[in-house]
Amino acid sequence: MRRLRDLAIEGFSDLRTGPSSRGHAFPQSLNPSIPQSHNGFTLLEMLVATVIMGIAVVGLLSNLSNSLQHAARLTEYDRATLVARRTMDELLLDSRLPSDSLVEGKFDAAATGLDGGWRARMTAFEQPPEAGPGTAVLDRVELEIWWMSGDHRRRIAMEAFRRSTIPFERREAQ
């Protein structure tokens, strides 16, 4: 009896030695139960596979485009937040900031990367009853940053508090 291994080697000997007894350089199919007409893909199968891959690629590219738009918008908000924090720091350090009045300014687009401006108001937030000049009080600084994003006007609002003193009134010499 022949061993199964010897039979398997004889079956593939056509691949190693060249033309088989049927006159072909290689067997048409390694599985003889598959008819020879179904050995490859048809043109229709290739077209369907190409269309499916095209749809998948278009879907991925549209998601990539949306992701890039969201990333650009987040970068814009990050830049506006940094500019707002810097502006708020400047306002908190400005001892000449008038109380209960609106102060406005515009940003230098070359320096900040934003086409916009700001609006701020400082109000007394907390003070002791019957406080006089030189008394420590708590001021509230409200800041609104605005910028143009395409056709839309975007804004960020923030507030901060600072300690100050009620100024002494200057008396004019008579």
Residues 48-95 have pLDDT tens digits of 999 999 999 998 988 888 898 889 888 889 999 999 999 999 999 998
Among 92, 147, 89, 139, CA closest to 118:
147
Mean of per-residue pLDDT scores for the chain: 81
Confidence of residue 8 (pLDDT cuts 50, 70, 90): low
Rounded CA gap, 28 and 34, in Å?
Answer: 10
Token pair for 8: 């398997």
pLDDT at res. 128: 84
d(CA 8, CA 142): 86
Ordered by where they begin, the domains of the chain are 43-165 (3.30.1300.30)
- Read off the pLDDT of each residue in 103-120 and give the average, rounded to a whole number: 90
Distance CA 157, CA 101 (A): 17
Specify the DSSP element, H or E, that contains 126: strand 116-126
Residue 3 is classified by DSSP as -
